[in-house]
Amino acid sequence: MSRHLHHIAAITLTALAFSTPVIAKEGNVTAAEATAMVKKGVTFIKTSGKDKGYAEISNKAGQFNDRDLYLTVYGLDGTVRAHGANEKMIGKNLIELKDVDGKAFVKERMELAQSKGTFWQDYKFTNPVSKKIEPKSMYCEKLDDAVVCGGIYK
């Protein structure tokens, strides 16, 4: 290849490298996206088993993390089995945890899981992206002796 053609090829490759759009989702997660993510997580746990399912849900770089949307799985006693934003929560019983307004949201979530099975729940929680306490709506589905949840910040 001539020096001139080699130079043109290098310029073209450089231009392509810098002009290729990076496809990244922006903006707030929608209720439909949260619902779809929870359903995807429930299906993954059913098909892959609890151990693999919980590990993937707890993987911050995994398929169940999108912007400020992540999944959590609680046993019906309030013990965290998987957590997509904070692996330190796994194994902790949060049944008495309250939000800034004093709402015992984990206890309420377990009651809703047992009475309704599938539901939305409102409370306040720290957004992992903004690091601020914000109103949150959590979509949850009961799966055997656990509840799989994913939420949106408002």
pLDDT at position 74, please? Answer: 98
Is 9 part of a structural domain of the chain? no
Is 12 part of a structural domain of the chain? no
Is 20 part of a structural domain of the chain? no
Rg of the chain's alpha carbons, rounded to an integer? 21
pLDDT over 50 at 104, yes or no? yes
pLDDT at position 27, please? Answer: 73
Mean pLDDT for the chain overall = 86
Query: Mean pLDDT across the stretch 97-117?
Result: 97
Q: How many domains does the chain have?
A: 1
pLDDT over 70 at 55, yes or no? yes
Q: 76-103 pLDDT, tens per residue?
A: 999 999 999 999 999 999 999 999 999 9
pLDDT at position 110, please? Answer: 97
Q: 66-83 pLDDT, tens per residue?
A: 988 999 999 999 999 999
- Give the pairing type, strands 80-83 and 69-75: antiparallel
pLDDT over 60 at 40, yes or no? yes
pLDDT at position 26, please? Answer: 61
CATH number at residue 47: 3.30.450.20
Is 2 part of a structural domain of the chain? no
- Domain boundaries, position 96: 26-153
Is 51 part of a structural domain of the chain? yes
CA distance 120 to 103: 15
pLDDT at position 137, please? Answer: 97
CA distances from 21 to 17, 28, 29, 78, 100 (A): 9, 20, 21, 43, 41
pLDDT over 60 at 4, yes or no? no
> Residue 50: which of 84, 81, 91 has the closest Cα?
81
Beta bridge partners of 93: 79
Is 137 part of a structural domain of the chain? yes
pLDDT over 60 at 17, yes or no? no
Listed range (2-16, 64-78, 124-138) with the worst mean pLDDT? 2-16
